[in-house]
């Protein structure tokens, strides 16, 4: 297959090549620094296959688009941290059920159903777990499953992911991203793009924040939403803390959040 670099130069690559293959073809420097690409005007990560004839511009951590990639990474790191947090408390990690965790305009959020309510006292441990995961320099891989395989992965275990799979239009690719291994890493239904969780790009944080349905106190209901970034206004009753909040699908409120950015 042929792709085109920003200067119009053609680059011949194997069928199914990715932006990672483009970086490798351009030399060790690009292979080390590339974090994603703009492909025909669309943001790609390093793992999504490129279309034939695409115009490809590689990105590094210095490019503004990296913020979107890294925020998506942090959503996955948050979900993995919450699962590991509850595993250490004696729960099956599968008891932590996940909704959606996309990047939004100025950050991200993650809908999470936890086996027990979270309190303010839990948040330092979750933040520390996120930093620990980033330092592990976990490998990231992307894979695609059929609708039947994707449903088999979640049916009877996670109703939220099952619903999301069913909502994907027929014929549309169903992709997953896995950081680390299947047993002790984290795998998520995800269209991307994202970047590898690595210590080279640790977040800076004002600590995650959490609130219950009235803006403070104990959380009620089964679902909370994680949120992070630079929102236009802080949530009610959370002074000196950045965070944005949304109402999860089941009508309860709550969340995890903070002020996170890449260090670049």
Which domains, ranges and CATH numbers included, belong to the chain? 2-60 (3.10.20.30), 62-264 (3.30.980.10)
List, in sequence order, every beta strand (DSSP E) within the chain: 2-4, 10-12, 36-39, 42-44, 56-59, 97-98, 103-104, 107-113, 140-145, 174-179, 186-189, 209-211, 223-229, 255-258
Per-residue model confidence as pLDDT tens for the chain (264 residues): 999 999 999 999 999 999 999 999 999 999 999 999 999 999 999 999 999 999 999 999 999 999 888 888 888 888 899 899 999 999 998 888 888 777 777 677 777 888 888 777 888 888 889 889 988 889 999 999 999 999 999 998 888 899 999 999 999 999 999 998 877 789 999 998 988 887 444 444 333 444 333 333 333 333 443 433 322 222 232 222 233 323 333 333 334 443 333 333
pTM of the model: 0.76
């Amino acid at each position: 297959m042929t792709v085109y670099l920003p200067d119009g130069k053609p680059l011949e690559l194997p069928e199914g090549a990715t932006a990672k293959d483009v970086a490798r073809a351009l030399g060790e420097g690009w292979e080390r620094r590339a974090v994603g690409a703009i492909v025909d005007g669309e943001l790609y990560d390093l793992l999504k296959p490129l279309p034939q004839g695409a115009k490809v511009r590689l990105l590094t951590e210095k490019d503004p688009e990296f913020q979107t990639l890294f925020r998506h990474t942090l959503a996955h790191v948050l979900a993995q941290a919450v699962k590991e947090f509850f595993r250490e408390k004696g729960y099956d990690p599968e008891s932590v059920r996940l909704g959606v965790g996309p990047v939004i305009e100025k950050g991200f959020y993650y809908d999470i159903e936890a086996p027990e309510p979270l309190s303010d006292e839990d948040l330092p441990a979750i933040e520390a777990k996120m930093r620990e995961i980033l330092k592990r320099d976990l490998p990231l891989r992307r894979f695609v499953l059929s609708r039947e395989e994707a449903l088999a992965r979640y049916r009877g275990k996670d109703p939220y992911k099952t619903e999301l799979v069913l909502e994907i239009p027929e014929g549309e690719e169903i992709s997953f991203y896995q950081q680390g291994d299947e047993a002790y890493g984290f795998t998520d239904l995800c269209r991307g793009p994202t970047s590898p969780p690595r210590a080279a790009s640790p977040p800076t944080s004002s600590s995650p924040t959490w609130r219950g349905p009235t803006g403070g106190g104990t959380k009620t209901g089964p679902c909370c939403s994680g949120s992070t970034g630079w929102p236009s206004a802080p949530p009610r009753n959370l002074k000196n803390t950045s965070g944005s909040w949304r109402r999860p699908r089941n009508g309860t409120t709550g969340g995890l959040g903070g002020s996170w950015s890449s260090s670049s």
